Structure 1
Amino acid sequence: MAHVEPYEPRYEPGPDELRILYRKEAQAKRRTEARPGLWMAVAIYLLFSATDLLLIPDVAAYTIVARFAVGITALLTLEEQLRRGAATEWLDVTCAGAIIFGYIGWLCPAFMGANRESVAYYMVFGTIFMMSANLFFTLSFKLSIITSTIILCILYIVNYLVPATLTYKLVFGTFYISCFTFTSYVNWKLNGERYNVFLNALEAKIQHNEATERGKALLRLSRTDPLTGLENRRAIDEKLRDCWSDWQRLGNRFAAILIDVDFFKKFNDCYGHQEGDRCLIQVANALSDLVRQYDGSIGRYGGEEFIVLARMDKKDQVADLAEAIRRTVESLALPHELRRDGISIVTASVGAAFTRAQAGAKLEKIIHEADRALYLAKAGGRNCARLFDPTDPQSSDESENIAALLKIAIGQNLVSLVYQPIQDVASGKVEAVEALMRLKMLDGTLVPPSLFIPVAERTGAILELGRWAIRTVCAELLADDHIRVVSVNVSPIQLKTPGFATSVASILGETGVAGSRLAFEITEGLEMEMHSDVLRCINDLKVLGIKIWLDDFGTGFAGLSWLRLIDFDTVKIDRSFLHDCGTSRGMAMLQDIIALVRNRGHKILVEGVETDEQMALMRDFGIDKVQGYRVGRPAPAASFQAKRAIQKRPFTVLKSA
């Protein structure tokens, strides 16, 4: 898309074209030099008045008047021609005429002097006029020869009329011929050199232009994305700095918008990388046409991500542009059959940020805010646009405080686990518990999991927290047999991380806990993608004996695909289906889901059991396990440790006396 043609044949003008170019350049040069040349010639011409006073004092007054008359007339004529824009040829004629009439205007009164010998010798200075055509002007060779010839003829006439010996006349006649020949030769050589200089200058100009064009092309190439033809990250970062500088200095507000093509990896897997490239090009072209209407800039920020910068005054305009971007991609209707969210075309998630007054704000801040808005758009189901809202806990600066808190949470004992019991419906016994993470701030204030878990996933802190949770579960409950099975929630990010299964195996080895005592709950959500790394990790975990549970079944889009690909030990049906059983439609939906899971051969766990009526319903449906406030609320490990200690305490028999 960035066209660079370093091997394009260079243009070489022919001889006729070169002569035309030379004449044009020579005319332009003569036009430029005519005024300073004539002014200098007139100034020197007038300065020679001093020699008139010395050599021909009796007629000096007349020669001086003649000099001034000719000089001023020549200057006025030239200035008027320049003012009227006369052709260069007429300027040349004026300069040549000034030389000829300057000589005649000085010669006539000088020839009337009483001292004929002085006048005769003084006539030698006439050769200066012969050379003036080359000293002060760059007249053409033809006009210079004509001018010098006229001066030579006048010199010969004067030489003939001056009363002198034959020897004098022969000597000075020969001198005049020599001067004419010399000046004509010099003029011819100068014109040849001027032409050579022109050729060299033209060659240098062509080379310079070629180098400049190559440089511009290479610069465009270095600032252009080779696939889409949009500006690349380097170029867009420069524009971002310009926009930020204008915002800081002049208060010109602008928006930064990040666009991410949804499920693009799956698109490549389904249609191939060539089709993937075509998809990105079509998206780029459509967005470029749209953004041009807003006088904005668009660039490819990497992979399937694009960035838009647009100068805007109001937040509503930013929201409208973000939504227009989303609609534009959707309206392309590019097929995407492997999506698992019920949509079969290519869509985009859009995150936008708008300049706002912030103390100590830095350039990277607005991009960071747009990125957070994009994260929320993807977490909110994709194919949507989100504008960064500083008052939203999920995107505000509060999440930055939480991100900083998560870095020190383990070291400062700010994170802990509580456990919610899971009951076997048939036996009525608590056979497992679910580990739930809790986070408190430095002042002891609790942070809701709905707030800190997304931040942990976005920042990658979930990896360290996840390992800590597994190790803590093994140490608190499993190592001393306080509970038989503990389930731990596992993030998709953990499953995608290389070496996760190995780290789990290491923890089991350190604590001496069998893998069959652990269950990992995988949430059925949009962030879980069924690529080979995730499936391989799940298989490795099952080899360790770890049970794999599907959490919140029915709330996402991938449930049936996951049930087909993975042999889950237990499927947890989301609490919302149980709570909707108050209507016949809700009851029928719950029964259908139970039948679907049971036909796949998985054990069923229903969440959210809170009343005796709901518990009785679970018995009627033949549910395997239940969880909810009816069974027990989340409690610290100490409460399960205490119950286990009571169960192990031996009975004491008291005999009566």
Structure 2
Amino acid sequence: MTERASSRQADTQPEPHDPRQELGAAELRILYRQEAQAKRRKDARPGLWIAVVIYVLFSVSDLILIPDVAAYTITARFAVGLTALLVLEAQLRRGAATDWLDVTCAAAIIFGYIGWLLPASMGANKESVAFYMVFGTIFMMSANLFFTFSFKVSIITSTIILCILYVVNYFLPATLTYKMVFGTFYVSCFTFTSYVNWKLNEERYNVFLNALEAKIQHKEATERGKALLRLSRTDPLTGLENRRAIDEKLRDYWSDWQKLGSSFAAILIDVDFFKKFNDCYGHQEGDRCLIHVANALSDLIKDYNGSIGRYGGEEFIVLARMDKKDKVTELAEAICRTVENLALTHELRRDGISIVTASVGAAFTRTQAGAKLEKIIHEADRALYLAKASGRNCARLFDPTDPQSSDESENLAALLKIAIAQNLVSLVYQPIQDVASGRFEAVEALMRLKMLDGTLVPPSLFIPVAERTGAILELGRWAIRTVCNELLVDDHVRVVSVNVSPIQLKTPGFAASVATILGETGVTGNRLAFEITEGLEMEMHSDILRCISDLKLLGIKIWLDDFGTGFAGLSWLRLIDFDTVKIDRSFLHDCGTPKGMAMLQDIIALVRNRGHQILVEGVETDEQIALMREFGIDRIQGFRVGRPVPAANYQTKKPVHKRPYLRSA
């Protein structure tokens, strides 16, 4: 819609204006006179100085042609020239009007001729004076040679010179033929000078029109260029700066930080569950939502003297010069509250909130070795990831000491890239017991990671990093293949459950890759169970639902893990027919209080009413086992049942164990 509107505006954009069509003749003449005045004012000083210098240099001709009165003519030349220059300089200093400058220059021409001609006419050699009068035509043409007079002023000046010539010519003792010839010559010079002056003024006017038109065209071209530049740096939907403009500004901020120590913050803002908003209300409403958010945040950022831009999709970025972390945290929290206070309805959220909110990740410049421009954005992105993982609608400031966001997680990300090739990743298996029969019906595969020096990395550290970096995809396929090869191919256990991330379920082709592994290893799908963690990342995404349906067609069992700790539970229980629901260990451990006991019973009743089998995690005592029998729980898992052990512990045993409990170190 915006592009079409822009296209229409471009199509209807008028051609460059012709000033002769835009302004009337009178207006153009006024504008021309205003511009001509400026030029005449500029040319007055150099024109008069040059004219005076040439006028004085003609003193040489006086010494040759009229030596008897040369002293008087030369004195007159200097007197007129100096007087004219002094008057003009005084006028310029006082800021006299341009017309008065023209009068001074014209008067200098007239009096220059009179001041020379009168002493020259008193000389003894009248014939020389008669021929010398021819030089009077030079004064007639001086109005055009040295100055840019208007046609009117030039004609008046030349006419006065002509009259002086005729007066002198009349009283000069000479034949009638002589007077007629020179009189005709003077009139011819006057006519020629007047014509040249008229053509010059006409040409000046045409030059003015062409220059005016060129100036207008240049102005329009400049404005169009600026408009195109603004367009190339502006997001067409929200009107904010786009990624290109923000990247340029980020480089400026970074340069000031490196050179001047001017610290700043980079803040990434992501609208929560925006895809769901689009799916529910349509893309037009989604666009309006982004515009509302952009306008609100833009108003907020003005108070912090910062810049805001759209970084792509539903993500915005803020850059602000700040000197303390507390101010960064304050701004990040203000951004969250600003979006929340818009109260834009979002009914399809599954976290108990029915309005649009935003997750915010902030990073602050800090001294570090080998720091690069991209580092601060990367840190803000890691903080944003933690904000989402913490429940959304919150702000997180990057903390280099936090293992979830610190540089240590980047080391883990690098480690995960080589983990499979370097045999740094392995699986251990924890038994799952059937409460009624006491048999070990299944085991859960748990991933372990060690560093190059052999130090173990807790799953709580490396699993989030693997999900954030996408390494979970390759690790997940490796885990499924390893489970099949280690325990299922030779029937060491009946069923193995494998934890699967929602990121894997959303990845195109995941079900097909699982089918390929089953085909290559010869394991049937009913030997596998995929545990899906109930968490914030497990959105009701159509790709996830489709993938789960494809996996069930392969015979794979689908379990809901850690039920009760996330927000999607009831929705997923309604949408998906889970084979087993695993109740989180925290509910069992809270049974020491009446409220905790009631809560566990309510959850069990809820799951049982949906017809799913129930598995309770965290069983660690005989009393808890007895309680599970009392509640009619189907399966249990915990240290009292058995600790996680390598595959070798199962490869030497029969698939089904009849001992009531398995104690393993």
Note the aligned Cα RMSD (angstroms). Answer: 1.6
After superposition, give the CA deviation of every residue in 1:448-476 in whole Å (9 maximum; x if it has no partner).
11111111111111000000000000000
Aligned to 1:290: 300
1:636 aligns with 2:631: no
Offset at residue 85 of structure 1 (A): 1.6
1:356 aligned partner: 366
Tell me what 1:610 maps to.
620
Structure 2 CA distance, aligned partners of 1:129 and 1:376?
90
TM-score under structure 2 length normalisation: 0.95
Classify the secondary structure of the residue corresponding to 1:341.
coil
* Structure 1 counterpart of 2:36, from 8, 26, 36: 26
User: Which amino acid in structure 1 is aligned with residue 267 of structure 2?
Assistant: I
Q: Distance in 1 between matches of 2:342 and 2:90?
A: 67
Give 2:489's match in structure 1, choosing from 469, 479, 487: 479
75-84 or 616-625: bigger deviation? 75-84
CA distance in 1 between counterparts of 2:369 and 2:114 reads 84
- 1:568 — aligned with what? 578
Q: Residue type of the partner of 2:416?
A: L
Q: Quick check: 2:106–2:143 contact (8 Å CA) kept in 1?
A: yes
Distance 1:418 1:602 in 2: 27
- Determine the structure 1 residue equivalent to 2:385: 375
Counterparts of 2:174 and 2:385 in 1: how far apart (Å)?
108
Matched, 1:71 2:84: no
C-alpha distance 88-169 of structure 1, shift in aligned 2 (>3 A) = same
Matched AA of 2:491: D
| Corresponding letter in the other structure for 1:276 | G
**Is 1:407 paired with 2:417?**
yes
Specify the alignment match of 1:177 in structure 2.
187
Q: Equivalents in 2 of 1:382, 1:500: separation in Å?
A: 27
Secondary structure of the 1:327 match is helix
Structure 1 counterpart of 2:96: 86
Contact 2:494 2:656 (C-alpha < 8 Å) held by counterparts? no
Q: Does 1:232 align with 2:242?
A: yes
SS for the counterpart of 2:499 is strand
Residue identity matched to 1:150:
I
- Give the corresponding residue for 2:401: 391
What residue is the counterpart of 2:634 in the other structure? 624
**2:289 — aligned with what?**
279
Residues 1:548 and 2:544 aligned together: no
> How much has 1:426 moved relative to structure 2?
0.7
How many Å separate the matches in 2 of 1:451 and 1:60? 109
Query: Superposed, which structure 2 residues align to 1:199-598 within 5 Å?
Result: 199-598=209-608
The superposition leaves residues 130-160 of structure 1 with CA deviations (integer Å, 9 ceiling, x where unpaired) of: 1111111111101110000001111111212
- SS of residue paired to 1:643: coil
1:52-63 equivalences in 2 (<5 Å)? 52-63=62-73
Write the letter of the residue equivalent to 1:294. Answer: Y
Distance 1:363 1:473 in 2: 43
Shift of 1:253: 1.3
What is residue 102 of structure 1 aligned with on the other side? 112
Structure 1 residue 162: deviation in Å? Answer: 2.3
Stretch moving more, 27-36 or 554-563: 27-36
Aligned mates of 2:57, 2:642 — CA distance in 1: 118
| Partners of 2:227 and 2:324 in 1: CA distance | 37
Inter-partner Cα distance in structure 2 for 1:139 and 1:416: 98
Could you tell me which amino acid in structure 1 is paired with residue 560 of structure 2? L
Matched residues in 1 for 2:548 and 2:656: separation? 37
Q: Which moved more, 1:75-84 or 1:576-585?
A: 75-84
Once the 2 structures are TM-superposed, how far is the Cα of residue 79 of structure 1 from its aligned partner?
1.8
SS of aligned partner of 2:532: strand
- Preserved contact between residue 440 and residue 656 of structure 2 (Cα < 8 Å): no
Report SS of the residue matched to 2:654: helix
Match of 1:161 in 2: 171
Aligned residues: 648
Structure 2 counterpart of 1:613, one-letter code: E
* CA distance in 2 between partners of 1:247 and 1:581 (Å): 55
Alpha-carbon shift at residue 57 of structure 1 (Å) = 2.4
Match of 2:662 in 1: none
Q: Secondary structure of the residue that 2:652 maps to in structure 1? A: helix
**In the TM superposition, what is the alpha-carbon distance from 1:647 to its structure 2 partner?**
7.7
Given the alignment of the two structures, is residue 143 of structure 1 paired with residue 153 of structure 2, yes or no?
yes
Q: CA deviation at 1:112?
A: 2.2
Per-residue Cα deviation, 1:521-575 (whole angstroms, up to 9, x for no partner): 0000000111211000000000000000000000011100000000000000000
Aligned counterpart, 2:130: 120
